[in-house]
Structure 1
Amino acid sequence: MDFLSRQKEVFTNPNKKPLNELELEYSFVSKVRKSTSGKQKEADKKNYVLKKDRIAALDEKWIQKEHSYHEYQPYYSEVSPEENSLFLTKNKLFLDNLTFLLQCNYHQFWNYMVYEPRIKSILHGFLENPVNWYEIKHLQGEYLKLYNQIYEKVANVYLRLLTFKESDHEYMKEKTAVKLILEHKLITYPLIINFCLLYNKTCRVLVNMINEIFFDINQKVIYEKELAKIFEHALLIIEMIGGYICGFEENSVKIPIGIRPKPAKFDPQWVEEVTIYLLDTSASLNAFLSSCNNALNVALEMGIPYRLTYFYNNVYSVLYGMLEDRSESLFADYPGLKDRILEYIGIGRSEFVNVFHVFITYLIDNIIQSLGDNEKQDNFMENYLKLISNALEDEFFIFDYQNAHKIDVQLQTISDFHPHIDETRVNYIMECLSTLPTIEKVLSLKSDVSKPKKDLLKLPEIEPTPGTSKQYTPPNETEIYEIAKSVLETLPHLGDGFIVECLKSFNFNSEQVIAAILDEKLPPHLNKLDKNMIYVPPEPEEPQPVLAYKGKKPAYKDAKELLDDKRDLKEIKDFVLKTSSVTYDNIYDDEYDDRYDDEPGISFYEKDDDVRKPVQNRFEGYELVSDPPSSSEDDGEEERPQKASNAFCEDPAVLRARREAQFKGKNPRKNDVVGKPKGQGQDKNVLQNRDKKGVHKSSRANHNRKSGAQWKRNKGMIPM
């Protein structure tokens, strides 16, 4: 039925339904049953009939069972290219299978991935037997070119698998797609380690997409259980490797792994197998733990870093002991084998040291981020001190770690964010570091720490979206900050300013910067810089204003020059001073002291001073009755107007006059309607105010009868 799925009119989704809910209609020709009469048919077309049917868009009927698939052929670096001739022959067919998958439409792609088990098999075959970054230097010419093509297309297949929507008509819900991936084991938790090892540096987008899906917080119970199985398996492998190299204890159980048992006679090939297996294990752990923070908690709880230091100290010492004082005749039949073994040992040691440092960096980051939460911070601090104290017992390991990542610098950094650090334990750690063996003693054991050579990694960068330019363009300030931050995660003891200067010299290639710093191969001008330098970003350039004009060119180049011209300020100042007539000689002084004036009744101002007139007495002309003098009161107290003591009821006319004077003094009338006494004529303003009052008096009450009556009662004018 594959030919049907190739027809464009077969896949239609006008209602924009998800792929798993869609049904497709197709037409096919079916042969009619043979006639029982045995007579020959009049026409061949009567022997066939056109039929139609509807099936689900996701169904195994859409795939072609006759399609051929070819397994990936691994490359063996220990043999010559001629013996790897099958690598070219078989992998060209494997590359055709990958191209076919990427050319399928969304509907076809998901049907083949889900319902064709051979597709899953060939993809997993590549992920489980790739050419790792430390072996790719053995590929040359057309071998390297073919492998790079396969490497890119496998990544693009899985990127498409994890892209759940290609258009409005071709999509699936994320929950449904993830369920299909898990049910059909297209991606498993152990395979995530292979993805991290292969694409952690070259296709970080793919690794991040896998981590977001498989380590979602809603699936915490599931992934913690799977991670526990992975780390149990890793511990088992470490224990078995240690047993094969150093010897098993009595009554210990031996479990077969990917290496042969230790031969009775020294065998260089067996040593190479062991060192490669060690390197694969350490590199896989380093890549996985560096990419997945959720795995670090589980690994710490299971004691992975505590086991690594003991294993490292014992296993590598025995390996160097095997190679020490060995006759060159033992390697005569294997040219270059001893150098390869030493190279694999050096890179493996570096990977184990980096695995341990991943845990240390994780704890330091959490100590800093937990600032303010003392209980949480103390918990991370305790784990850090226990981890370092445990590593101090393994002299060989702690020497290598101290040379790669300074512990004293880490303690200094932590003390800045954790003021209550245990000084006794810190002093013990510093004292142990001071007693580490000298470099001469370690070199006598031929245990020089070898850093991984970054130039071995020549895998192409995967670009999920085509059309991206590969030419170098200087990063902006945000990108510089992100690149420097990634370097500081590996080298937290350096200043960000020093890191930025190094990145500028290496075209912002973080891997080359890390390698140059660790190998102490920085250019001379960088070695002279302060390694604790702080990065100060440059100030953004101000945009230059552009003056638009017509006709004659203005006298100023720009707006800034125009605003800076202060030549007219003096003329403006002189003009203001000349036109100002304000004087401040007769202004009332609030702090004037009149206690010693000869005439206390005189005004504060002269008669001809019109700036301010003295306030007149509102009660002038009324009879004032003073209380008898009292010794308790001050003689200089001002007398106040009082009502006559013998007045049983004041004259209403006097009372009205006094109330009117008080009202006018407090609230001067704006619209006078009283005017002059009758018969003397009225002003124009009074007449206008009377008209306005007559017109608008119906809009509101002109007095409050209740309050007025109450006021009269209080004065005794109306009997209660």
Structure 2
Amino acid sequence: MVFAACENDKNLPLNELMILLDEDGVKRSIPALNEQWKDSRIFTRYSSFPIRSIDGLVDECASLDQWISEIGWFIKDMEGLLGLEHFRFWSTLVYNRGAIESVISFTQAAVPYYLAGVIRSSPSVFPLYSAAHRATLQVICRMITQKESDRCWISREFMGDLLYKHYLISIPLLFDLLSVYGRDNKQVLTLMFQTIFKLQPKYGQDLKVGLKFLQTTFKTIQQQIETDRIEGNVVSSARLNDLAIYAMDCCTILALLMECHPECRWICSELELEQSITSFYDNTIVLLYKNIHAMDNESPYLTYLNSARMELLSAFRGIVNFQLETILDKPERSLVPADKSLCILTECLSDPVFVKDYQRHYPVERDLDVIKQACRNVDTFKLDFVQQAYCGEDEENGFLNGHKEAAIPEDDDSFGEACGGVLEEEVVEEAGPTAAVEETLSSDQLIERNVQKVLDVLPHLGDGYVRKIICRYENVEQAIAAVLEGNLPPDLIEADPTEPYIPPDKLDTNYLETGIDRLNIYDGDEFDVMVHDEIKGVMKKGKGMPGQPKNLKEMLDDKSHVQEMKSRYQDYTNVCDEYDDEYDDSFDAMAESESKSVRLTAAMRNALVDELDDDEDDDEPEDDSGQPVGKKPLDFCENPELVRQRYEEKRRSKFQAKHGGGVATGPDKDVVGKAKGQGQDKSVLLNRKHKAENKSSRANHNRKQGATFKRNKGMIPS
């Protein structure tokens, strides 16, 4: 360290002050904020003391002695910073990065204020930790002090840039201060926030980013818990306790931030942080409480979670109060904040547990009265809806959102106990036909009915496993929700989901009731004559059954089956003939009208007349003398000879129309030639050769085999 005298007779700020340095007779002026004046020591970083994992108290072991030695050096470093001159203090902070890192290490590793009881339990840790706790806060307070005396001061603009550009003060550091120093130093923290945001307005943008990160943290904790539930992982108690402390830390930071720096509420309203608060309250805090309570109902972490719930309610109240204060400060512009308040209260109705606790501690009817009086143009429909949802008309409960109201506790501790008892929603169902039916059912029948309801939704589960779940929860909805969310007690998680239900043996039940051990297939059922005076069924004595024939003669003489068959076939005669002749007339008229709309040419008309004549001639057969006789009934199968004849005539007529008559295909295409043994012309031989060479170019080969195949299959008449 270089020693020099600082004489500030003109009361200049640190950024304008020059210090005269005399080295071996050589004098030169150096700025007061310079690396020349820094303290070059190596600053000690703070580390947390050892803690036992069983009960969370201080572990009195060899590591504790090392911690005591290190914290002693840490306290000396903080006191050394406080003892430096003004220009040396700031030069050390700016040019010796280890100094500010040492301060930040304590805020990051220190114990939160709500765990101070752990420190007080150890007499060897408490005094040293208290000294470090106090010295670190004094160093930070000196860092934000603009004027220590008339000669030791810094201009506001320069100090704001110095803190911001060199990262001496940051939003994460402020969040850690809220968690470490908490409500015991609330006034100091409030003054600190006011000073910092006045010195450098840029911290406002950083605060917005920090609140976004806090909002993301809420979602991360919620997703982590939901992932474990979906995958069916059995979460350890240590993991649940860590999540509870983490949630408590986030909730405390948010609530204290709104109390120490109320100006941040408009940023929270802009980010819609109230929705994240209500969702985190209902889906994360409540679930953590249930899981920890299921493992250890006397765990101290349940108290931390109840405190976290109070912090979230306080933070939500701060956002709502910001809108109400805006309404009261500017009544002429109260429509927008009034509508915003109603929207906030309406959107959080989807989180019933939060709504119930908020209404218990901060009655909404007071806020609604303020909105009614200050804003005359507010939407009355929204106002009435919110009032009905929160307040209702029940004087006894004061809240009719589908929940029962518990007694309002006086303080925060009783609130934690009350919340532990009402975490699970108690839904008030309207009495109706279903309730009346369930009252008439026995307990076994009701359980069987509930089991069937669960199996309709989750058919892959076993009957025995579902019965265990039904017996553990109050209604079917809670049982199904617990299975789907994976939020089952540890013993049910380890059970076999496909376990079947084996009903109790009636013999064992009968033995327990009567004390008589009998081995009979009818023991205890409706056929047991030893238990029932009147039994079901028919008591058979001798051969045959009552009402049946006694011998073969009676059986053959019995004609009762004839009467049964007669009565059965009698039903087939009851057929009503409802034929309507109008249908044929209408059909003929329609066909006639359609035929008139078709115009035929002369050639088509002549062809149609010839076809009709042929049909009439074919339809009127004649006898041997040539006289027509009456119409014969249609044959079951047409005469194949007539079919072949008609087909041959049709083929011959088509061939004649195409080639002009004759059997031959022409001199150039004749392949038939003369009869066998009479010799063939040269042209016939050439045509045959040409046909044999080119018959594969067209699909006219193998026609006889294809026709035979079709005829055998009934595709063409034979």
TM-score, length basis structure 2: 0.51
Using a 3 Å threshold, how does the CA distance of structure 1 residues 265 and 286 change in structure 2: closer, same or farther?
same
Q: Report how far residue 409 of structure 1 moved.
A: 2.7
Q: Report how far residue 25 of structure 1 moved.
A: 2.3
* Equivalent in 28, 32, 36 of residue 61 of structure 1: 36
- What are the Cα deviations for residues 608-656 of structure 1, in whole angstroms up to 9, with x where unaligned? xxxxxxxxxxxxxxxxxxxxxxxxxxxxxxxxxxxxxxxxxxxxxxxxx
1:400 alignment partner AA: D
Using a 3 Å threshold, how does the CA distance of structure 1 residues 205 and 290 change in structure 2: closer, same or farther?
closer
Q: Report how far residue 313 of structure 1 moved.
A: 0.9
Structure 2 match to 1:225: 205
Conservation of the 8 A alpha-carbon contact between 2:44 and 2:73: yes
Q: Report how far residue 198 of structure 1 moved.
A: 4.0
- Match of 2:30, SS state, is strand
Q: Report how far residue 201 of structure 1 moved.
A: 3.4
Structure 2 match to 1:594: none
1:170 aligns with 2:152: yes
* Equivalent in 390, 398, 414 of residue 347 of structure 2: 390
1:110 alignment partner AA: W
- Match of 1:276, SS state, is helix
Conservation of the 8 A alpha-carbon contact between 2:32 and 2:87: yes
Structure 1 match to 2:116: 136
* Equivalent in 282, 287, 290 of residue 256 of structure 2: 287
Q: Report how far residue 419 of structure 1 moved.
A: 4.2
Structure 2 match to 1:692: none
Rounded Cα–Cα distance in structure 1 between residues aligned with 2:151 and 2:408? 65
Conservation of the 8 A alpha-carbon contact between 2:34 and 2:91: yes
Using a 3 Å threshold, how does the CA distance of structure 1 residues 291 and 416 change in structure 2: closer, same or farther?
same
1:353 aligns with 2:317: no
* Equivalent in 12, 15, 33 of residue 10 of structure 2: 15
- Match of 1:72, SS state, is coil
2:146 alignment partner AA: F
1:435 aligns with 2:400: yes
Q: Report how far residue 224 of structure 1 moved.
A: 4.3
Conservation of the 8 A alpha-carbon contact between 1:16 and 1:169: yes
Rounded Cα–Cα distance in structure 2 between residues aligned with 1:165 and 1:440? 54
- What are the Cα deviations for residues 17-63 of structure 1, in whole angstroms up to 9, with x where unaligned? 2222222223335xxxxxxxxxxxxxxxxxxxx54443222111222
- Match of 2:45, SS state, is coil
Structure 2 match to 1:450: 416
Rounded Cα–Cα distance in structure 2 between residues aligned with 1:167 and 1:412? 51
Conservation of the 8 A alpha-carbon contact between 1:196 and 1:287: yes
Structure 1 match to 2:543: none
1:241 aligns with 2:221: yes
Conservation of the 8 A alpha-carbon contact between 1:196 and 1:288: yes
Rounded Cα–Cα distance in structure 1 between residues aligned with 2:115 and 2:247? 14
Using a 3 Å threshold, how does the CA distance of structure 1 residues 265 and 197 change in structure 2: closer, same or farther?
closer
Large movers: runs of 4+ above 6 Å: 440-443
* Equivalent in 374, 380, 399 of residue 356 of structure 2: 399
Rounded Cα–Cα distance in structure 2 between residues aligned with 1:387 and 1:72? 43
Q: Report how far residue 298 of structure 1 moved.
A: 1.6
1:124 alignment partner AA: I
* Equivalent in 273, 279, 285 of residue 316 of structure 1: 285
Structure 2 match to 1:152: 134
Rounded Cα–Cα distance in structure 2 between residues aligned with 1:176 and 1:158? 18
Conservation of the 8 A alpha-carbon contact between 2:240 and 2:292: no
Conservation of the 8 A alpha-carbon contact between 1:349 and 1:449: no
- What are the Cα deviations for residues 516-551 of structure 1, in whole angstroms up to 9, with x where unaligned? xxxxxxxxxxxxxxxxxxxxxxxxxxxxxxxxxxxx
2:358 alignment partner AA: Y
Using a 3 Å threshold, how does the CA distance of structure 1 residues 320 and 197 change in structure 2: closer, same or farther?
closer
Structure 1 match to 2:189: 207
Conservation of the 8 A alpha-carbon contact between 1:366 and 1:380: yes
Conservation of the 8 A alpha-carbon contact between 1:215 and 1:294: no
- What are the Cα deviations for residues 318-376 of structure 1, in whole angstroms up to 9, with x where unaligned? 223424544x6xxxxxxxx95122112111111111111111121122211222x1xx2
Q: Report how far residue 448 of structure 1 moved.
A: 8.0
Q: Report how far residue 134 of structure 1 moved.
A: 0.9
Q: Report how far residue 451 of structure 1 moved.
A: 8.5
* Equivalent in 34, 54, 60 of residue 82 of structure 1: 60
Q: Report how far residue 199 of structure 1 moved.
A: 4.4
1:598-609 correspondence to structure 2 within 5 Å? none
- What are the Cα deviations for residues 430-472 of structure 1, in whole angstroms up to 9, with x where unaligned? 33233241246999xxx984289xxxxxxxxxxxxxxxxxxxx
* Equivalent in 210, 228, 240 of residue 271 of structure 1: 240
Rounded Cα–Cα distance in structure 2 between residues aligned with 1:224 and 1:145? 37
- What are the Cα deviations for residues 185-228 of structure 1, in whole angstroms up to 9, with x where unaligned? 11012322233344463445543444334434x965x3443233
Rounded Cα–Cα distance in structure 1 between residues aligned with 2:191 and 2:75? 24
Conservation of the 8 A alpha-carbon contact between 1:192 and 1:210: no
1:450 alignment partner AA: G
2:287 alignment partner AA: V
Rounded Cα–Cα distance in structure 2 between residues aligned with 1:158 and 1:295? 21
- Match of 1:193, SS state, is helix
Using a 3 Å threshold, how does the CA distance of structure 1 residues 383 and 248 change in structure 2: closer, same or farther?
farther
Conservation of the 8 A alpha-carbon contact between 1:246 and 1:314: no
2:125 alignment partner AA: Y
Using a 3 Å threshold, how does the CA distance of structure 1 residues 203 and 64 change in structure 2: closer, same or farther?
same
Higher helix proportion (structure 1 or 2): 2
1:381 aligns with 2:338: yes
Rounded Cα–Cα distance in structure 2 between residues aligned with 1:320 and 1:208? 32
1:328-347 correspondence to structure 2 within 5 Å? 338-347=298-307
Conservation of the 8 A alpha-carbon contact between 2:320 and 2:341: yes
TM-score, length basis structure 1: 0.51
Rounded Cα–Cα distance in structure 1 between residues aligned with 2:253 and 2:308? 11
- Identity of counterpart residues, as a percentage? 18
Q: Report how far residue 378 of structure 1 moved.
A: 0.8
Q: Report how far residue 164 of structure 1 moved.
A: 2.1
Runs of at least 5 residues in structure 2 that lack an aligned partner in the other structure: 391-398, 419-718
- Match of 2:43, SS state, is coil
- Match of 1:186, SS state, is coil
Conservation of the 8 A alpha-carbon contact between 2:368 and 2:387: no
2:3 alignment partner AA: L
- Match of 1:415, SS state, is helix
Rounded Cα–Cα distance in structure 2 between residues aligned with 1:296 and 1:387? 14
- Match of 2:373, SS state, is helix
Rounded Cα–Cα distance in structure 1 between residues aligned with 2:229 and 2:334? 40
1:417 alignment partner AA: A
Q: Report how far residue 110 of structure 1 moved.
A: 1.3
Rounded Cα–Cα distance in structure 2 between residues aligned with 1:211 and 1:322? 37
Rounded Cα–Cα distance in structure 2 between residues aligned with 1:224 and 1:68? 33
Using a 3 Å threshold, how does the CA distance of structure 1 residues 137 and 143 change in structure 2: closer, same or farther?
same
1:184 aligns with 2:179: no
- Match of 1:318, SS state, is helix
- What are the Cα deviations for residues 478-535 of structure 1, in whole angstroms up to 9, with x where unaligned? xxxxxxxxxxxxxxxxxxxxxxxxxxxxxxxxxxxxxxxxxxxxxxxxxxxxxxxxxx
Using a 3 Å threshold, how does the CA distance of structure 1 residues 190 and 406 change in structure 2: closer, same or farther?
same
Conservation of the 8 A alpha-carbon contact between 2:38 and 2:89: no
Rounded Cα–Cα distance in structure 2 between residues aligned with 1:426 and 1:310? 23
2:249 alignment partner AA: D
- Match of 1:27, SS state, is strand
- What are the Cα deviations for residues 389-418 of structure 1, in whole angstroms up to 9, with x where unaligned? 111221111111111211123223433333
Conservation of the 8 A alpha-carbon contact between 1:196 and 1:291: no
Structure 1 match to 2:84: 104
2:85 alignment partner AA: N
Rounded Cα–Cα distance in structure 2 between residues aligned with 1:23 and 1:293? 40
Rounded Cα–Cα distance in structure 1 between residues aligned with 2:155 and 2:269? 35
